[in-house]
């Protein structure tokens, strides 16, 4: 796809309506690149990046009661029950930085979560979804070598995108680690859960006019990100028709 090369301010103007803040959902299987692209997208659009997985990992790190409950499910590769996810996410959405919209990474993951989000937003925000399409063989290779920064959450890959200094984040100097749930046995369960619970969301959003855009997430990081930026202007119709 040719590059449209919109500047950050043009992108923001296209994707931001004063009446209806944009809630941009990043959909796709584990390892599809949702987190990788959410960070630069958050900078380009000046919207907060909210990852329910990161929120849970922060709860686990602080050993809160929510963290202890969530860890039980995360360690098995299962989904955390909807009520725990919804309370945590809706609390986060109350923060002032979400007033102009946000980027959701890893949420919703079930139809019940998607419907709860619709109810919570009361039609006052415009939901848009980008679905990252990546074949399983690529996902497994990506997850198998994934390293994540404990501090800024930037992800690297042992082979495809290694850090310049072993075990250290080139962005913030934080320590890199391998997520417990990135072990092969748990990844296959996460992919199965994705197919059963999360894939139906593609049809859910595709059934709504101009809400869903597909992105080919297979290529190099820079190319995929360019495709993400190219997909955004096509949301303008949904936004301007409000
Ligand atoms: P992620 O970092 O998005 O891959 O999420 C890591 C794990 O956190 C998932 O495998 C789930 O166990 C849990 N999790 C994150 N987001 C959700 C969600 N929206 N619903 C249920 N569980 C979630």
* 146 given a catalytic annotation: yes
Instruction: Please pick, among 57, 142, 146, 154, the residue that the annotation labels catalytic.
Output: 146
Nearest CA to ligand 1 atom 12: 74
Average pLDDT, the chain: 92
Confidence band for 118, pLDDT divided at 50, 70 and 90: very high
pLDDT of 140-194, one tens digit each? Answer: 999 999 999 999 999 999 999 999 999 999 999 999 999 999 999 999 999 999 9
CA 239 to ligand 1 centroid distance, Å? 28
Overall domain count for the chain = 1
Residues 105, 38 contacting (CB under 8 angstroms)? yes
Give the C-alpha separation, 29 to 40, whole Å.
19
Residue 156: inside a domain:
no
Residue 101: inside a domain:
yes
Is residue 14 predicted with pLDDT exceeding 80?
no
Q: What is the 8-class DSSP label of residue 166? A: T
Residue 190: inside a domain:
no
Question: What is the number of helices (H) and of strands (E) in the chain?
Answer: 11, 8
110: domain CATH number? 3.40.50.300
* 12 given a catalytic annotation: no
- Ligand 1 atom at minimum distance from 109 CA: 19
Residue 146: inside a domain:
no
- The model's pTM is 0.93
Confidence band for 32, pLDDT divided at 50, 70 and 90: very high
222 CB contacts (<8 Å, ≥6 apart)?
none
Give the C-alpha separation, 149 to 161, whole Å.
13
Q: Report the percentage of the chain scoring pLDDT > 90.
A: 83
Is residue 4 predicted with pLDDT exceeding 60?
no
Q: Which domain holds residue 18?
A: 8-137+196-240
pLDDT of 210-241, one tens digit each? Answer: 899 999 999 999 999 999 998 888 776 666 66
Q: What is the mean pLDDT of residues 94-109?
A: 96
* 109 given a catalytic annotation: yes
């Amino acid at each position: 796809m040719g590059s449209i090369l919109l500047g950050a301010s043009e992108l923001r103007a296209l994707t931001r309506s004063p009446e209806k803040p944009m809630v941009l959902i990043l959909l796709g299987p584990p390892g599809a690149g949702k987190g990788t692209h959410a960070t630069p997208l958050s900078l380009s659009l000046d919207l907060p990046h909210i990852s329910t997985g990161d929120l849970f990992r922060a709860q686990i790190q602080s050993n809160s009661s929510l963290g202890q409950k969530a860890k039980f499910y995360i360690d098995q590769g299962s989904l955390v029950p909807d009520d725990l996810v919804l309370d945590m996410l809706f609390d986060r959405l109350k923060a002032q930085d979400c007033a102009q919209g946000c980027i959701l990474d890893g949420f919703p993951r079930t139809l019940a979560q998607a419907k709860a989000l619709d109810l919570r937003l009361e039609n006052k925000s415009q939901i848009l979804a980008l679905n990252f399409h990546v074949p399983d063989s690529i996902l497994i290779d990506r997850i198998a070598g994934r390293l994540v920064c404990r501090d800024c959450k930037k992800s690297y890959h042992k082979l495809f995108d290694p850090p310049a200094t072993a075990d250290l984040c080139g962005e913030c100097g934080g320590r890199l680690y391998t997520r417990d749930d990135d072990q092969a046995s748990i990844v296959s369960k996460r992919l199965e859960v994705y197919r059963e619970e999360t894939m139906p969301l593609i049809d859910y959003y595709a059934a709504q006019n101009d809400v869903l855009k597909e992105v080919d997430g297979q290529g190099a990081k820079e190319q995929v990100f360019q495709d993400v930026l190219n997909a955004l202007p096509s949301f303008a119709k949904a936004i301007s028709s409000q």
